[in-house]
Chains A and B, each alone.
Chain A
């Protein structure tokens, strides 16, 4: 399935684009999606286990992904 990955701040500048599309199997874990991203040219510096959100909630690397899920990479936050 095609999965759209949202990018913000530091990570957005790697592309640079507000999102990137990847192809993963249905039921792939977040960890697999990240590995797919890290295999793309220019993405070598992405951490192996970056903080992520699935459907706008912080999620763990073993979380499974399904069609329509919103995966977002969350660089170190600096609000306030």
Chain B
């Protein structure tokens, strides 16, 4: 586990207009830990958590196994966060993506955005999750109730770049 930024080093009034922190981790995501993001200038703080659900395409799912090209995924996630910060004028964005075996209800991804106003926070959060789905080199294998398993094929998207 390695964070690409450390928000303890980005105090209120930090001149860096787009502080971001990207992390790929095997450890359980503690989403509530992301809720102290931002500064006194940020009137909006938005937290999105993606969780493992108990079904997919009508089939009961027992758990998921996530695999990542970790070194690239961390770099790509940080690039996505920087793009979101630049496009949406968010001031702080932190995102964590989990790998390994996840049980139903566990968080697979968490995205926190702090911004002076709500519109930028919603826009940035949406941008980050959609780009994660398109570009982040992460794969998931569904394990079904009957013990069988299969790689999940994401909805057809244009290949990255």
The answer to the question of A42 belonging to the interface, with a C-beta cut-off of 8 Å to chain B, is no
Interface SS of A by simple majority: loop
The answer to the question of B63 belonging to the interface, with a C-beta cut-off of 8 Å to chain A, is no
Task: Give the residues in chain A near B76, CB-CB below 8 Å.
Answer: 56
Q: Please encode chain B, from 127 to 161, with 1 for each CB lying within 8 Å of some chain A CB and 0 for all others.
A: 00100111111111100000000011110010111
- From 1 to 44 in chain A, residues with beta carbon under 8 angstroms from any chain B beta carbon are 6, 8-10
> Which listed segment binds A: B3-11, B36-44, B65-73, B84-92?
B65-73
Task: Give the residues in chain A near B66, CB-CB below 8 Å.
Answer: 79
The answer to the question of A46 belonging to the interface, with a C-beta cut-off of 8 Å to chain B, is no
Across the interface, B133 reaches (CB within 8 A) one of A56, A60, A72, A79, namely A79
Q: Measured between alpha carbons, how far is A6 from B68 in the docked complex, in Å?
A: 12
Do A53 and B151 touch across chains, with their CB atoms under 8 A apart?
A: no
In whole Å, how far is B112's beta carbon from the nearest beta carbon of chain A? Answer: 15
Q: Measured between alpha carbons, how far is A10 from B132 in the docked complex, in Å?
A: 19
Do B137 and A8 touch across chains, with their CB atoms under 8 A apart?
A: yes
What is the interface size of chain A, counting residues whose CB is below 8 A from a CB of the partner? 18
Do B69 and A72 touch across chains, with their CB atoms under 8 A apart?
A: yes
Do A77 and B72 touch across chains, with their CB atoms under 8 A apart?
A: no
Q: Please encode chain A, from 51 to 65, with 1 for each CB lying within 8 Å of some chain B CB and 0 for all others.
A: 101001110100000
The answer to the question of B82 belonging to the interface, with a C-beta cut-off of 8 Å to chain A, is no
Across the interface, A79 reaches (CB within 8 A) one of B109, B141, B159, namely B109
Do B154 and A78 touch across chains, with their CB atoms under 8 A apart?
A: yes
Do A51 and B153 touch across chains, with their CB atoms under 8 A apart?
A: no
Across the interface, B135 reaches (CB within 8 A) one of A8, A56, A77, namely A77
19 contacts between A and B (CB under 8 A): A8-B67, A9-B141, A10-B139, A56-B71, A57-B72, A58-B135, A58-B160, A72-B69, A75-B139, A77-B133, A77-B136, A77-B137, A78-B138, A78-B139, A78-B152, A79-B109, A79-B137, A80-B97, A80-B108
Sample of 17 more A-B contacts, CB < 8 Å, known A56-B71, A72-B69, A78-B140:
A8-B69, A8-B139, A9-B67, A51-B160, A57-B75, A58-B160, A72-B72, A75-B151, A77-B133, A77-B135, A78-B133, A78-B139, A78-B151, A79-B68, A79-B109, A79-B132, A79-B138
Q: Point out residues on B near A: beta carbons under 8 Å.
A: 50, 66-69, 71-73, 75-76, 97, 108-109, 129, 132-141, 151-154, 157, 159-161
